[in-house]
Structure 1
């Protein structure tokens, strides 16, 4: 089996799980943050939607310079979150469908003002992006738990979703 196919399968699973979380998004809590060092809820979910596009961007480029990126306006509704999630997921899904395993071997770098922060193979950079999705969705789960919002199943049933 090709690695690109495995990455497509994993990305699709993360997409469907994240969409379940976004279906429960509390629009009246956009500015909520559980700690002064935590992102506001709307910023966290906006960031999470954009990570779904990173795979497509990584396959099309050799680096990203964080100094050149703009902070997107926070998304504040479930429908806006799902629309952005769909757009970014489809961008990465299409890029992966056209990629070969050989495309994953070239390097991709993360920079700040031209200075190298990290450099990995494109495969490992994509794996890092998938890990970021899991990480930030877990943060979202903590926010939801603290707000009393039932958590959907992720990698099996949650304490709130015993539909299995």
Structure 2
């Protein structure tokens, strides 16, 4: 399978799980955080919602330098806004990837903070890193929600909550 088609397929597979996770966040817990060093639930969820936009950024730039690119996260006030934000970024990512040329994926892309280089890889490799970031932060969100006693949907199979639900019905 061509790499672009493979990346598109993976993007959609991960989007299905991400939608499930984002949709169950209780709005009255948006500002909760498990530790002072942790992001709040809404800050983490907003970051998950914006990460698909990294696909277009990677395809259309040579680098992201945190020292020169101020970060201003979108303000989200409801789960419906969060889901719309995620879907908007996802649609943009798909469109950018669908029009990408294979040669673009072999170009170098750098993530840095001034002189400190965090990553230097091909654009294809960093698109995969952005997918991994979604999975990583989605798992963090799952832990946050578990600590709030919110039943967690499965990601790559049933969750403990879903398995327990099946056992209760048996």
Mapped to 2, the partners of 1:101 and 1:73 lie a distance apart of: 32
Counterpart residue number, 1:134: 135
Mapped to 1, the partners of 2:49 and 2:19 lie a distance apart of: 10
Mapped to 2, the partners of 1:101 and 1:55 lie a distance apart of: 14
| RMSD of Structure 2 on Structure 1 (CA) | 1.6
Counterpart residue number, 1:113: 114
Equivalent pairs, count? 164
- Is 1:50 the counterpart of 2:50 in the alignment? yes
Which runs of no fewer than 5 residues in structure 1 stay unpaired?
none
Question: SS of the counterpart of 1:143?
Answer: helix
Counterpart residue number, 1:4: 4
* Cα deviation code 1:45-92 (max 9, x no counterpart): 011111111011111111111131322144231101111101110111
Mapped to 2, the partners of 1:40 and 1:115 lie a distance apart of: 27
User: Scaled by the length of structure 2, what TM-score is found?
Assistant: 0.90
Counterpart residue number, 1:87: 88
Mapped to 2, the partners of 1:34 and 1:56 lie a distance apart of: 32
Mapped to 1, the partners of 2:14 and 2:55 lie a distance apart of: 13
Higher-Rg structure is: 2
Which runs of no fewer than 5 residues in structure 2 stay unpaired?
none
Query: Runs ≥4 in structure 1, deviation > 4 angstroms?
Result: none
User: Scaled by the length of structure 1, what TM-score is found?
Assistant: 0.93
- Asked if structure 2 preserves the Cα contact closer than 8 Å seen for 1:58 and 1:126, the reply is yes
Q: CA deviation at 1:103?
A: 1.6
Mapped to 2, the partners of 1:159 and 1:36 lie a distance apart of: 28
- Asked if structure 2 preserves the Cα contact closer than 8 Å seen for 1:27 and 1:78, the reply is yes
Question: SS of the counterpart of 2:109?
Answer: strand
Mapped to 2, the partners of 1:96 and 1:2 lie a distance apart of: 12
* Cα deviation code 1:19-68 (max 9, x no counterpart): 11111111001111111211111110011111111011111111111131
Mapped to 2, the partners of 1:51 and 1:90 lie a distance apart of: 12
Counterpart residue number, 1:20: 20
